[in-house]
């Protein structure tokens, strides 16, 4: 029989692979875009006392034309391209600097932007802090899950909505919290609620919130770069038609990365994180049937009206809080933020007792 340990190990490998691929894709994309931009920019500028590459290229073309006219009887006249080593070296240095700069920004954002991200998530969901004095039993269940996961107790919040859903916020001990809907508190039994809390605690322990923040920030960065490149491509002051073509191509490349590639990678990461959190919740609370029952109820009514207008937060929830998208996307599951609920429940049933 498959065990929760097997499921957890498998999904951790998937998360590691996806996150590694995500980082590699991001850094490669930054390098390519920066390298192409630097090649275009430095081609117009004098480098290390030499004339610009385009000036030397124009001179080579003029020399080729003169030689062709002067030596009309020659059987073969070769066109010699100017040396590009200096140009390539400068572009390579610029691209490496851009990669280092993006990595630095990512680290600063994950460190310094944590509280801002938590505040934005709580404000967007209209979540209200639950006081421990008034909800001792709920905090006891959350505390038990935290002890089982080996993390410090977390804050609890509630959304005034009859839908059944939950998500976790924060990265550090000071900001970590779990947000529950009022419908979840009203309709789940104590054991089911404990299983849901264990699922969200697993997300906090695994740092899944950090992964989602990194994915979202990266996608937004390339979407912004795409729009910037499109705007610059219509500025004819420097480079003329060539600049327009280069800017348009870079804009398309950034758009493909920011609007399709990185979001799809982030969704794949989200789906693996959900399966992993399910398996770890079983190890924490030791009640797979309680989690199965909770997911069955959540799957029937996971819609949360206040989150319907915030698609970027959908991947953070235990189930998709938004209304159904188009029929094609719904049937294919291509852009789904979560694994199919039946798939999750089937995996839990297979490990029932095997933990």
274-320 per-position pLDDT tens digit:
888 898 899 898 888 999 999 999 999 999 998 887 776 777 889 98
| Closest by CA position to 262, among listed 106, 101, 73 | 106
| Average pLDDT of span 178-202 | 95
Pick the catalytic residue from 192, 194, 200, 280: 200
What pLDDT score was predicted for residue 175? 85
- Give the end-to-end CA distance of the chain in Å, rounded to a whole number: 10
70-116 per-position pLDDT tens digit:
776 666 777 777 878 888 888 999 999 989 988 887 777 666 666 77
What pLDDT score was predicted for residue 165? 95
Answer for the pair 188, 239: CB distance below 8 angstroms, yes or no. Answer: no
Q: Which residue has the tokens 């006219």?
A: 69
What pLDDT score was predicted for residue 337? 66
Query: How is residue 266 written in tokens?
Result: 């982030």
What pLDDT score was predicted for residue 5? 67
DSSP 353: T
- pLDDT category of residue 2 using cuts at 50, 70 and 90: low
The C-alpha atoms of residue 68 and residue 170 are separated, in whole angstroms, by 70
DSSP 180: E
What pLDDT score was predicted for residue 242? 64
What pLDDT score was predicted for residue 327? 46
Query: How is residue 355 written in tokens?
Result: 């933990």
What pLDDT score was predicted for residue 96? 94
What pLDDT score was predicted for residue 330? 45
Which residues is 128 bridged to in the sheet?
158
Answer for the pair 267, 335: CB distance below 8 angstroms, yes or no. Answer: yes
Tell me, yes or no, if 200 is annotated catalytic. Answer: yes
Q: Is 333's pLDDT higher than 50?
A: no
- pLDDT category of residue 192 using cuts at 50, 70 and 90: very high
Instruction: Please tell me whether residue 172 adopts helix, strand or coil conformation.
Output: coil
Q: For 144, what's the count of Cα atoms within 13 Å in the CB-facing half-sphere?
A: 17
What pLDDT score was predicted for residue 131? 92
What pLDDT score was predicted for residue 1? 54
What pLDDT score was predicted for residue 227? 79
The C-alpha atoms of residue 263 and residue 337 are separated, in whole angstroms, by 10
Please work out, in degrees rounded to the nearest 5, the angle formed at the alpha carbon of residue 245 by the alpha carbons of 243 and 250. Answer: 95
15-26 per-position pLDDT tens digit:
677 678 778 888
Q: Is 238's pLDDT higher than 70?
A: no
The C-alpha atoms of residue 176 and residue 157 are separated, in whole angstroms, by 11
Q: Which residue has the tokens 């054991």?
A: 191
| Average pLDDT of span 207-231 | 74
Instruction: Please tell me whether residue 331 adopts helix, strand or coil conformation.
Output: helix
| Average pLDDT of span 170-195 | 91
What pLDDT score was predicted for residue 23? 80
27-42 per-position pLDDT tens digit:
888 898 889 888 878 8
Consecutive H or E run containing 157 = strand 155-159
The C-alpha atoms of residue 123 and residue 117 are separated, in whole angstroms, by 10
Query: How is residue 325 written in tokens?
Result: 């998208």
For 61, 77, 172, 264, the CA distances from 67, given in Å and listed in that order, are 10, 8, 70, 54
134-163 per-position pLDDT tens digit:
999 999 999 999 999 889 999 999 999 999
Answer for the pair 302, 321: CB distance below 8 angstroms, yes or no. Answer: yes
Percent of the chain with pLDDT over 70: 81
Q: Among 60-74, 187-201, 308-322, whose mean pLDDT is lowest?
A: 60-74
């Amino acid at each position: 029989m498959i065990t929760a340990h097997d499921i957890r190990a498998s999904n951790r490998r998937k998360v590691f692979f996806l996150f590694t691929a995500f980082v590699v894709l991001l850094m490669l994309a930054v390098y390519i875009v920066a390298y192409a931009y630097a090649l275009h920019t430095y081609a117009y500028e004098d480098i290390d006392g030499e004339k610009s590459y385009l000036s030397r290229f124009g001179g080579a073309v003029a020399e080729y034309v003169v030689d062709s006219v002067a030596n009309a009887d020659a059987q073969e006249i070769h066109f010699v391209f100017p040396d590009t080593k200096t140009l390539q070296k400068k572009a390579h240095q610029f691209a490496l600097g851009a990669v280092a700069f993006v990595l630095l920004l990512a680290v600063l954002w994950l460190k310094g932007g944590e509280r801002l991200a938590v505040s934005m998530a709580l404000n967007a969901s209209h979540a209200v802090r639950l006081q421990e004095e008034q909800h001792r039993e709920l905090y006891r269940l959350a505390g038990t899950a935290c002890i089982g996961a080996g993390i410090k107790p977390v804050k609890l919040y509630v959304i005034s909505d009859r839908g059944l859903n939950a998500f976790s916020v924060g990265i550090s001990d000071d900001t970590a919290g779990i947000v529950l809907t009022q419908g979840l508190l009203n309709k789940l039994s104590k054991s089911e609620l404990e299983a849901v809390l264990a699922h969200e605690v697993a997300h906090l322990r695994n740092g899944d919130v950090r992964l989602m923040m990194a994915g979202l920030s990266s996608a937004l960065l390339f979407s912004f770069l795409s729009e910037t490149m499109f705007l610059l491509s219509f500025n004819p002051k420097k480079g003329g038609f060539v600049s327009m073509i280069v800017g348009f191509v870079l804009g398309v490349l950034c758009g493909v990365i920011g609007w399709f590639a990185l979001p799809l990678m982030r969704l794949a990461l989200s789906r693996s994180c959900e399966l992993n959190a399910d398996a770890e919740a079983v190890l924490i609370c030791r009640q797979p049937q309680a989690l199965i029952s909770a997911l069955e109820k959540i799957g029937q009514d996971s819609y949360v009206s206040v989150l319907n207008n915030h698609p970027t937060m959908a991947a953070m929830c235990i189930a998709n809080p938004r209304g159904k998208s188009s029929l094609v996307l719904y049937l294919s599951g291509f852009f789904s933020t979560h694994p199919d609920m039946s798939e999750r429940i089937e995996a839990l049933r297979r490990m029932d007792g095997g933990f």
